[in-house]
Chain A
Amino acid sequence: MAILALEDLRVEYRTARGTSAAVDGVTLEVREGEVLGLVGESGCGKTTLGRAIIRVLPRNARIAGGRIVFDGVDLAALPEAEMNRYRWRSIAMVPQAAMDSLDPVYRLGDQFNEVLMVTGALSRTDARRRSLDLCDLVGLDRRRLGSYPHELSGGMKQRAAIALALALRPRLLLADEPVTALDVVVQHRILKRLRALAAELSLSVILVTHDISVVAQTCDRMAVMYAGKIAEAGPTPDVFARPRHPYTMGLENSFPNLLRPQETLIPIEGVPPDLLHPPPGCRFAPRCPFAIDRCLGESPALRELEPGRWAACHRAEEAGALRIQSQEAERWRVPVP
């Protein structure tokens, strides 16, 4: 059962040099109680997509098309005042660098109270009780409610930020790079806690990250973004084992795996396109070792190849053969203009 469905979503930024579509034609579902990984490199639009869902886009950005259907309601069409009823109560966000988003001059408990009493309309007693529950939920020592943010470690602050996001029992949590900049042991614990929360609270989580190993070990399903578009999406094990899009194949090649014997890593040469002037065909074609003439002229649609398995590649049907070729380093040495 999908709690959120994005349909052909388009988000545009107005800049001094023109308009760019940071999110372009994204169709994606989030199911109840699942952790969905949204993975891609800097500038691919993953953060913009997350912020569009809860409609907290920067001033120069706007939703230019498509629908954001949450629980049957198109959020993209709601007036601002009504949208506000969804924020935090139904859909909450742990923004990037959330641990630095805590107010340095208030004790943690006061920041919890503010959310619970002002936005959540709880009494002081109820807010106190809920704060303690939230600490337990994210594995934060209850005594920390009396601390100021500077007295906490990075991991504790990140837990506090997640607890704050969960304060009003949202059904969907948008977590943008929730463990980046944390040490691996802390990272491990937070991811494990997020997974447990999804199961315990039937909370849906969109985990935005650049790190495919975080996705591999945390997410039920994943969507790979490239230059504003979904390259492919599906159940995490299948995307890893049988990538259909050459970009995903390239990502796997370039990522070291401690559990496997040492292999030579193969980079993807070149850089993502300038979204003010995207290439006419597939946006990955200039870096793709398998691009054919059609890829240069015609943008591939995101297609459902088999149930639950989506990819936007003209050659997706040949993916089996391409996967074998993709492991040859020579093929990735495409001439870069």
Chain B
Amino acid sequence: MARPGSVTQAPAEASVANGPLVAAEAVQKYFPLRRGLFARAAPGEYLRGVDGVSFALPRGSSLGIAGESGCGKTTLARLLLRLITPTAGRILFDGVDLSALDGPALLAFRRRAQLMVQNPYEAINPRFTMEQALAEPLVIHGIGTREDRLDRVIAALAQVNLRPADAFLDKYPHQLSGGQLQRVGLARALMVDPIFLVADEPVSMLDVSVRAGVLNLMKAIARARHLTTVYISHDLSLVRYVCETTMIMYLGTVAEIGPTDAVLASPKHPYTQLLLAAAPVPDPGRPLPEITAPEQVPTPIGPGIGCPFQDRCPQVMPVCRTVPPPLVVVGPKQQAACHLYGPH
């Protein structure tokens, strides 16, 4: 069950038009652990992928989720898209519990929520031309006639600045550069006119000089279409560039969440502070700072008593060893799960 105090943001009401588009309520995803190849999961042995996460995404907003590998950010993305279902808690999309969806309702959800993945070369069938790759979602959802679809494909290519669009129709993935193909990945996610887009490390495979182009495009399209977006990245500078709200995850929990400027300019959680201190900056005038946090490898396995960050925290207190810190308000719209700030 959810940890005490882990739900602090108001639960979403099902008022469809004005409520948040997406609301996570104490979402938990545990993966059973197996000891040995054929053994059954031992009772009580779990990997806590996502462990009591709550937030609400207003329509048209952008949320950046950052954290180290294994912090649960990709698991959370898969939950938000109902590629997997939570062990406990629920995710409301437009007021409806995602776990309850099946049949036509689930297909309708798939049309409204789309994913953009890290590696476009893996996401797009190498035997498909760009026309086939982009028309496929339309075929699956039964949208348009054949001629109609071609028009839509050409418009989609032009929208992501692949011009002249006709020149790309018959190209295969290997004939495009990484940056071009990631634009196709974006175009493909937009083919079915979604209202919710999850992008999981969409530019980390790309060269820096072309990243900016893809990011600018994502920002412009999200604004123009009033898309609600979730952007997952390990790179805080990219999260800052794209997202209004930033959420820092640590071992499946929310360490800190708030307006991006506030979280990055005045981080409250010691983990956010650590991430920011370690983040590389292209400035030779700033040598690598000293970091005092103990070197520990986080593990999502085990009893998980107290604060998940306790072993690496330079400011750990006795209470952190026993009581999991709830999210508390630390600034305007800014919350951190740390005993340094309460509970008050």
Contact = CB atoms under 8 A, between A and B. Distances in A.
Interface stretch (A52-60, A84-92, A160-168, A183-191): A183-191
B83 interface: no
Given A183-B234, A265-B216, A216 B207 contact: no
B288 A212 contact: no
Interface string A128-153: 00000000000100000000000001
Interface stretch (B96-104, B235-243, B316-324): B235-243
Contacts of B236: 258
Interface stretch (A248-256, A291-299, A303-311): A248-256
Interface in B260-313: 264, 274-288, 291, 293, 295, 297
Nearest to A182: B69
A-B pairs, 3 with minimum CB distance? A267-B213, A265-B212, A213-B280
B283 A257 contact: yes
Given A251-B208, A259-B281, A265 B241 contact: yes
A41 B282 contact: no
Best-surrounded residue of A156, A184, A213, A218 (most CB of chain B within 10 A):
A184
B56 to A, nearest CB: 25
A202 interface: no
Given A259-B281, A265-B241, 9 more contacts: A211-B280, A216-B281, A236-B284, A240-B283, A241-B284, A254-B210, A264-B216, A266-B212, A271-B210
B252 interface: no
Given A183-B69, A189-B291, A271-B179, A214 B280 contact: yes
A244 interface: no
Contacts of B282: 212-213, 216, 240, 252, 255, 257
9 contacts: A192-B288, A210-B208, A216-B280, A217-B280, A217-B287, A237-B284, A254-B212, A257-B283, A271-B180
Contacts of A119: none
A265 B235 CA distance: 15
Given A192-B288, A217-B286, A258-B264, A184 B208 contact: no
Contact of B234 (A184, A195, A256): A184
Interface of B: 68-69, 177-180, 207-213, 215-216, 234, 236-238, 240-241, 264, 274-288, 291, 293, 295, 297
A250 B284 contact: no
B274 A42 contact: no
Contacts of A125: none
Given A184-B234, A258-B240, A191 B288 contact: yes
Contacts of A210: 207-208
A188 B264 contact: no
A15 interface: no
B278 A185 contact: yes
Nearest to B71: A183
Given A218-B288, A258-B237, A212 B208 contact: yes
A122 interface: no
A218 B289 CA distance: 11
Contacts of A188: 277-278, 280, 288, 291
A269 interface: yes
A217 B179 contact: no
A217 B288 CA distance: 6
Contacts of A268: 209-210
Contact of B208 (A41, A154, A241, A264): A41
A53 B118 CA distance: 33
Contacts of A218: 288
B68 A41 contact: no
Contact of B291 (A153, A185, A250, A255): A185
B275 to A, nearest CB: 6
A216 B295 CA distance: 24
Contacts of B287: 217
Given A183-B69, A185-B293, A210-B207, A217 B281 contact: yes
A323 to B, nearest CB: 15
Interface in A263-287: 264-269, 271
Contacts of B207: 41-42, 210
Contact of A267 (B177, B210, B286): B210
A241 B280 CA distance: 17
B291 A256 contact: no
Contacts of B297: 153, 155-156
Given A185-B275, A217-B286, A257-B282, A41 B240 contact: no
A319 B209 CA distance: 20
B284 A217 contact: yes
Given A213-B280, A255-B282, A265 B215 contact: yes
A286 B83 CA distance: 43
